[in-house]
Amino acid sequence: MSDVIQLLPDSVANQIAAGEVIQRPASVIKELVENAVDAGARNIQVVVVDAGRTNIQVIDDGKGMSETDARLAFERHSTSKIRKADDLFALRTMGFRGEALASIAAVAQVELKTRQESDEIGTLVAISGSRYERQEPCACPVGTNFSVSNIFYNVPARRKFLKSNSTELNNILTAFERIALVNPQISFTLHSNGTEVFNLRAANLRQRILDVFGKKFNHDLLPVNVETTMCKVSGFAGKPEAARKKGVHQFFFVNGRYMKHPYFNKAVMAAYDRLIPVGEQVPYFLYFEVDPKDIDVNIHPTKTEIKFENEQAIWQILSAAVKESIGMFNDVPTIDFDT
Residue 144 interaction partner, one of ligand ADP, Mg ion, none, beta carbon < 5-8 Å per kind: ligand ADP
Residue 173 interaction partner, one of Mg ion, ligand ADP, none, beta carbon < 5-8 Å per kind: none
Q: Looking at 205-302, which runs of residues are DSSP E strands?
A: 221-227, 232-238, 250-254, 257-259, 284-289, 295-296
Shortest Cβ distance from residue 119 to ligand ADP (Å)? 13
Residue 87 near residue 116, CB atoms below 8 Å? no
84: CB partners within 8 A, 6+ apart: none
Binding site for ligand ADP (CB under 6 A): 31, 35-36, 39, 60, 62-65, 73, 78-81, 95-101, 144
Decide whether 146 or 315 has the Cβ nearer to Mg ion.
146
Shortest Cβ distance from residue 76 to ligand ADP (Å)? 8
Binding site for Mg ion (CB under 5 A): 35, 95, 100
Decide whether 95 or 240 has the Cβ nearer to Mg ion.
95
Residue 36 interaction partner, one of ligand ADP, Mg ion, none, beta carbon < 5-8 Å per kind: ligand ADP
Shortest Cβ distance from residue 34 to Mg ion (Å)? 5
Residue 39 interaction partner, one of ligand ADP, Mg ion, none, beta carbon < 5-8 Å per kind: ligand ADP
**DSSP H helical segments within the chain, as ranges?**
10-21, 25-38, 67-72, 100-107, 156-161, 165-182, 205-213, 262-270, 311-329
Distance, CA of 181 to CA of 170 (rounded, Å) = 16
Shortest Cβ distance from residue 13 to ligand ADP (Å)? 15
Among 159, 154, 158, 161, which residue's Cα sits nearest to residue 11?
A: 154
Residue 65 interaction partner, one of Mg ion, ligand ADP, none, beta carbon < 5-8 Å per kind: ligand ADP
Decide whether 185 or 225 has the Cβ nearer to ligand ADP.
185
Residue 179 interaction partner, one of Mg ion, ligand ADP, none, beta carbon < 5-8 Å per kind: none
Decide whether 21 or 224 has the Cβ nearer to Mg ion.
21
Distance, CA of 119 to CA of 226 (rounded, Å) = 45
Q: At what angle do helices 165-182 and 205-213 cross, to 10 degrees?
A: 170
Query: How many other CB atoms are found less than 10 A from the CB of residue 28?
Result: 27
Residue nearest to Mg ion (CB): 95
Q: Rounded to 10 degrees, what is the CA torsion of 237, 171, 114, 154?
A: 160
Distance, CA of 62 to CA of 76 (rounded, Å) = 22
Decide whether 76 or 158 has the Cβ nearer to ligand ADP.
76
Shortest Cβ distance from residue 98 to Mg ion (Å)? 7
Shortest Cβ distance from residue 99 to Mg ion (Å)? 8
